[in-house]
């Protein structure tokens, strides 16, 4: 069988498709005019807490957020 088509340059550099398309989308958002730019960037903010579990118990949670702790 013929080999698969040559991978796109980002795939051969180790990047996944999701990372690539999110990067493209972020670059686009950074080039928008003012009210749209801040709307788009704030729409994409994420805020979540992670707790690792050990021996069946959750450890201290860490907070990940785009906005630094106020």
Partner 1 sequence: MFRHGSRLLTRATAMTWRRPFSTELSAEHSVDSTFVEAWKKLIPNTEPPKTPSAYMNPRPATPSSIPSKLSVNFVLPYSSELSGKEVDMVIIPATTGQMGVLPGHVATIAELKPGVLSVHEGNDVTKYFVSGGFAFVHANSFADIIAIEAVPLDRIDPNLVQKGLTEFTQKLSTASTDVEKAEAQIGVDVHSALNAALTG
Residues of this chain that bind partner 1 (CB under 8 A): 9-10, 12-15, 20-25, 27-34, 36-37, 40, 43
Q: Which is nearer to partner 1, 33 or 57 (CB)?
A: 33
H or E, element range at 42:
helix 34-43
Alpha-carbon gap, residue 51 to 20, rounded angstroms = 28
Q: Which is nearer to partner 1, 32 or 50 (CB)?
A: 32
In the complex, the smallest distance separating the C-beta of residue 3 from partner 1, rounded to whole angstroms, is: 19
End-to-end CA, the chain? 58
């Amino acid at each position: 069988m013929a080999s698969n088509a040559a991978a796109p340059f980002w795939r051969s550099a180790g990047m996944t498709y999701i990372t690539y398309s999110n990067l493209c989308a972020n670059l686009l958002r950074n080039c928008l005019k003012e009210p749209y730019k801040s709307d788009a960037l704030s729409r994409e903010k994420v805020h979540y807490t992670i707790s690792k579990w050990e021996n069946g118990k959750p450890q201290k949670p860490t907070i990940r957020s785009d906005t630094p702790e106020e």
